[in-house]
Structure formats: C-alpha cells, structure tokens
A and B are shown apart, each in its own frame.
Chain A
Amino acid sequence: MKKKHKRLLIRILAAAALFGAVYAADRLLSLPAYLRVACYLVPYCVAGYDVLWRCLRNILHGQIFDECFLMTVATVGALIIGEYPESVFVMVFYQTGELFQGLAVEKSRRSISGLMALCPDTAIRLQADGTEEEILPEEAEPGDLILLRPGDKVPVDGVVEDGRGAVDTAALTGESAPRDISPGDALISGSVNLTGVIKMRATAGFEGSAVAKILSLVEDAQNRKAKSEAFITRFARVYTPCVMGAAALLALIPSLITKNPADWCYRALIFLVVSCPCALVISVPLAFFGGIGGASAQGILIKGGNYLEALSTVSAAVFDKTGTLTNGSFSVSRVLPAPGVAEDELLRTAAAAEQLSTHPIAKALAAAANGALPAAENVQEKAGAGVEATVEGKRVLAGNARLLRENGVPFTPEEAEATVVYVAADQAYLGAVILRDLPKANAGQSLAALKRLGVKKLVMLTGDRENAAKPVAGELGIDEYRAGLLPQEKAAEMKKLSEARGKNETLCFVGDGVNDAPVLTLADVGVAMGALGSDAAIEAADVVLVDDDLSRLPLAIAIAKKTRRIVRENVIFALGVKFAVLILAAFGLTNMWLGVMADVGVAILAILNSMRMLRRRKEKTGSR
C-alpha cells in the first residue's frame, strides 16, 4: 500500500470511529443544536478536509463540475438542512470509495508490470580478452558476447554460442515447460536461463529485442480505446451536468410551489451524490486493461482495447494454410511398400539414398526412418527428379515417377494428393513414400474450440494446389477453402468475406504475418502467429501470438468475450442502480445513505468485477 493510501485509510478509520461515538451520543443524550453541529463537524472534517480544499482550488482553476465539487455541495447542503449524520456518512463513504479505487488501480497496474517484469536490470558482457563487464541491457549491441548464469534473464535476443541447458519462456509465452537449448539455438529476451552457464551472441540491441517490443506494444495498447470506453467517457460528460441540472430543478420548482423546501433540497442533494461519474468512467478501462494484461501473460499481445472488443465478436476466422494450420514442413504421411517389402526397409532405403541431400523431403525421410542409416555412395542428384545412389551394394533410385520411368523400373503409380517418392533397388520396385505438410498437432482441437466459442465459419486460403489443400481442410473441419490463390487473390477473397459478414460480426485473419501483411490489414482483427521475430508482422497485425501455437487463438477469443461480458455487466449495473436511486429520490422514497451506496458501492463492485480479469489462471476455452 502506498503511503498516500495508508494515510487515507487511517483518516477514514478515525473519522468512522468518531462518527460512531458522536452518533451514539447524539441518540442517547439530547444535545443542544450548536453542540450537535460542532460534534458532527469533527469527523466530517477529518474525513473530508482535502475534498473541501480541492473543491475550492478547482473552482479557482475554473474546474467546477468535478466530483469534489459534487461531494462538497451535497454534504454542505445536508449540513445546512440539518441532516448531520447523513452528511458525515456520505463523506466517509465517499472517501472509502476513493481509497478502494486507488488500491484497485494500484494493484492491477502492479500485477501487469509484474507480468511485464521481463527485463533484467543488468547483463554481463564478455570482453574480447575474456574479462566480464557489467552493462545495462540497453547498452548491449548486436554481436556482443553475453554470459548467462543460471537464474539470469536473457537481456536481448540472441543465439547460444556455447553451453547447454534449459530456458523458461513462461513470462513470454505462458508455456511452463522449460525448453532445452544447445549451441545454435535462438534465445528470446525475457526468458530465464534455468541450468548451466551459457554464452550467447546478441543478434539484436535492446530496442530490437522481443522484450522491448512487447513492452511498447502493451503500453501503446492504451492508445487505442475500445468503443465502449469512448462511449462511457462521452456519456459521463453528459450525464453529470444533466443530473446536476435535474437536481437544481428539483430543488427550485417544487420548493416554490409546495413551500416545503427542506424536503425537496434533500432530494436534490441525493441527486448530486448519485451524479458522480467516476464509477462509470473507471470500470470500463479497468476491465480492458485487465483483459489486455491477462492476455499478455498468456503470450497473446493485443494492440488495443478496440481489438479486444473486435475479437469478442468474431464470426468468421480465415486462416493461411502453410505454417499456420500446418507445420510448414514435410513429414511422411503414408508408407506404401510393394508386396513382400517391409515398411521399415522401404523407409530406411529411401532415407539412406537421400541422406546427403538438403532438400526438405530428405529431412522428412530421415526423421521418419529413425535410427542409424547405412552409408550412401556414388550419390547423384537428378535435378527435379530425385537421387541415385549405391546403398549396401545396391543401386537405389528414389524420386518421382519420371525417375523410375526413365530407368525402366516398373511401378504402381499412386494417386498423388501430395508429394510421392518412389523407391527402387537394383531395378526392383520397393514401394512409395507419401509426404505432405501435416496439420499441427493441436490444430483440430483449437479449431473445434473456436467453433464452441461461436465462430461460425472457418475459412482457409492457400496458394497451394487443390490436392494439397483438400485433405487439410477435411481433417481440420474447415468449412470453406480456396486453393491455388495468388497473394492478390487472397486479398480479393478476404474482401469478399468481409463484405459478407453481418453488421455486428467481425472477421479475423490468422497468418504468420510475413507474407500476408495486406490480408492482415483487411481483416477486422489481424492475428500474426510466432511473429516476434518480424517487425513487419508486428506492425501489420492487431494481435500478435508470441509463438505458432494455434491454441492461443481460442484463448484470446475467450479472454475477449469475458472482458466484454464484464464491461457490459459493469455498465448495466452501474447505470441501472443509479437510475433506480434517482427515481426513488425524486419521489422522496429514499435517503442519502442509499444514494452514496449507489455511487460508491457500485463503483467498488464494478472495480472488483473488473479485477477478475487479472486473476492469473488458464482461461477455459470450452463452452461449458
């Protein structure tokens, strides 16, 4: 608790105790009027002297309609018409609300900066002669050699030069499992070195590193306000003067007619207490702030409240295929050995023949045929066809149909939905291996979660051929897909989809952000995955997922929906209660106690409700 808040707390407690004592004395003893005023003024001043002072000062500055003014008029008015206990109670309760608001904001800010405590205070740079030098992360430059001891945070982005160990990237990605690292692996700033001493080579300065980008992203998010936030600010600007005007009319007109001014003034004072706008104005941004902060703790960086709002109404999600829905690399999907040949043998032979090649197909074969491979000799790459090599004394051919046909090997052509590698040894056909770009392991699950969250249409746009797109769309339950699109055609498709969407629905596009910047900007919400490395993607996207894990997308939408629900609850609740009390007050059916409850109590409840966004637990993405 800050000193300021502590002081206020002590004052509130003291004022409350004094008030209790005075109230009891007032009830039990019949005090003379002047003594009653004097006694009630003590707790009143203890609780509210600063409100009075600020009101006075603000009036001198030309700021009339602020909350201090409202409270001053309401309480002084109550004192004048002889409602002493009410006056003191309103002041004490108002200050309690202020304290609460201050604490809530303080806490939510701290928990977010806690999430954002990614950056180490210092880093150790190794000089050319091997001596260590302590520097600030801001001073690190690309090419510097930096020493990481166990427990150190990675200060800038870089590559492991020497040493092995594990890093914890939870602060950046929300992923709690440590990641193993060895020389050559990339290190993202903000992750924590868990074990072992590691030397890393900086690849970026501080400004260009992931940490600095994330920090500026989240801080700048305040710059783009959600529609509901702008609405409530505008509303408050009208609401307060209107209620004050109503209060003035209520005090003047009936008083002239009924000749019972004290009663009507009392009702007008309740209006003034209720006209305070702060509960409304704080509850909405607090919820968005919490939503953006909570999301960033899960590795979802949202560039503004408006995008969080748009995410909550996504009705159609459009995906790029390669690298977004699929792994973006080949893997073996089926092995079709010729009769009498073992699957293992086929894979091993193919992998052995291809082992010296750097083609992605060769890597996929090697990964599938795990274990040591026999050596290959006399390797000849046949460009655009495959390879020919001697493996264990046999002349092996591995490649496309043309390669086998040219060499006169009889084979069974396979229905090619993807890339097929035919294999033959000493002119005998061994079989075929089918490779394709497989969907990500959790893609199906994530898309199903999106559907449960109310995303009606899933669309895939790809530049790949029809026969590569169809199986992916089928496996993942994609509703529509378009294959063979050129980049500009993707943009045209996107425009069509965006015209087809309903009025209060939004369209989101998910891609890797590198090649699809124009499409990203066409969507209501552009989501870039695994894009921390690319400035262009961060620039173009509205939401950045720190890695390419698709399950973050339903999580982001779930957080957005929850934020929207909280905002709605707060606004409806706050306005509902205020209007109810205004009506009751106009008819003289309520008192000032309830009036201040309606103002401060509602503010406290709205704040508590908003702070639910900050609770750090995994959001459920399911519907139940």
Chain B
Amino acid sequence: MKKAFRLEDLDCANCAAKMEAAIAKLPGVHKVTVSFMAQKMILEAEDDRFDEILTAAEKEIRRVEPDCRLLRK
C-alpha cells in the first residue's frame, strides 16, 4: 500500500533526509520519500501491517524533529 501524508512544521531539509533514511530502515517499509519541498511523506509498506509501520515512522519523525507532526488523513 502506498499513501501520502502531510508533515507539518518540517523545518529543515537535512532533517527530512535523516527521517527518510531512518524510516527506510524500518521493517516492512518498501519505499519511503520524505519531501521537504512538498512537506510530505510518501510511504509504501506492507498492507496488513501498515498502521503499525506508520506509527513507527511517526516515532522516527518525532525523534529527528520533535516539532514536526504527521497528519493522518
């Protein structure tokens, strides 16, 4: 499954790159792009564990940039 999420208050380009690298390492993630320019994350991950993976990704995001919030649609 592939889904896009908006990231609020993603303030630094290097942080986006770090988040991307960290989330890509999570088990079950096929592909992830964190775009600083679009303030978006496009996450491709295993269908049946998607929510679980998303929560883990959210944690990584907060670890890199505590002010950044992921908006679930």
Interface residues, chain A, CB within 8 Å of chain B?
4, 54, 57-58, 61-63, 66-67, 98, 102, 105, 108-109, 219-220, 222-223, 225, 233, 236-237, 277-278, 281-282, 285-286, 289
Contact = CB atoms under 8 A, between A and B. Distances in A.
B15 interface: yes
A286 B37 contact: yes
B24 interface: no
B42 A223 contact: yes
Interface in B1-51: 4, 9, 11-15, 17-18, 21, 33, 35-40, 42
B42 to A, nearest CB: 5
A285 B14 contact: no
Given A105-B37, A222-B35, A223-B33, 13 more contacts: A54-B66, A58-B66, A61-B66, A63-B18, A66-B14, A109-B37, A109-B38, A219-B40, A220-B42, A236-B14, A237-B17, A278-B12, A281-B17
A57 B33 CA distance: 25
A574 to B, nearest CB: 13
B64 interface: yes
B63 interface: yes
Contacts of A102: 11
Q: Which 9 A-B pairs have the closest CB atoms?
A: A222-B35, A282-B13, A289-B37, A281-B13, A233-B17, A222-B38, A281-B14, A223-B33, A61-B63
A66 B19 CA distance: 12
What class of interface size applies to chain B in its complex with A?
20 to 34
Given A222-B37, A222-B38, A278 B14 contact: yes
Contacts of A219: 4, 38, 40
Contacts of B4: 219
A411 B62 CA distance: 85
Interface of B: 4, 9, 11-15, 17-18, 21, 33, 35-40, 42, 63-64, 66
B52 to A, nearest CB: 21
A236 B38 CA distance: 20
Nearest to B66: A57
A281 B9 CA distance: 17
Contact of A236 (B17, B39, B40): B17
A168 B9 CA distance: 36
B14 A63 contact: no
A521 B2 CA distance: 23
Contacts of B39: 109
A222 B42 contact: yes
A105 to B, nearest CB: 7
Nearest to B32: A223
The residue among B9, B12, B33, B40 with the most chain A CB atoms within 10 A of its own CB is B12
Contacts of A282: 13, 36
Contacts of B42: 220, 222-223
The residue among B4, B17, B35 with the most chain A CB atoms within 10 A of its own CB is B17
A67 B66 contact: no
B63 to A, nearest CB: 5
The residue among B4, B12, B13, B42 with the most chain A CB atoms within 10 A of its own CB is B13
Contacts of A58: 66
Contacts of A278: 12-14
A327 B66 CA distance: 57
Contact of B15 (A66, A108, A220, A289): A66
A278 B18 CA distance: 12
A220 B66 CA distance: 26
B12 A67 contact: yes
Contacts of A220: 42
A237 B9 CA distance: 22
A233 B42 CA distance: 18
Contacts of B13: 278, 281-282, 285
A98 B38 CA distance: 18
A233 B9 CA distance: 20
Contact of A108 (B14, B35, B37, B64): B37
Contacts of B11: 98, 102
B14 A105 contact: no
7 contacts: A57-B66, A61-B63, A105-B37, A278-B14, A282-B13, A282-B36, A285-B37
B69 to A, nearest CB: 13
Contact of A63 (B9, B35, B37, B64): B64
A58 to B, nearest CB: 8
Contacts of A62: 63
A414 B68 CA distance: 75
The residue among B4, B17, B37 with the most chain A CB atoms within 10 A of its own CB is B37
Contacts of B17: 233, 236-237, 281
A289 B21 CA distance: 20
Contact of B14 (A4, A67, A98): A67
Nearest to A221: B38
A220 B35 CA distance: 10
Contacts of A285: 13, 35-37
Nearest to B34: A222
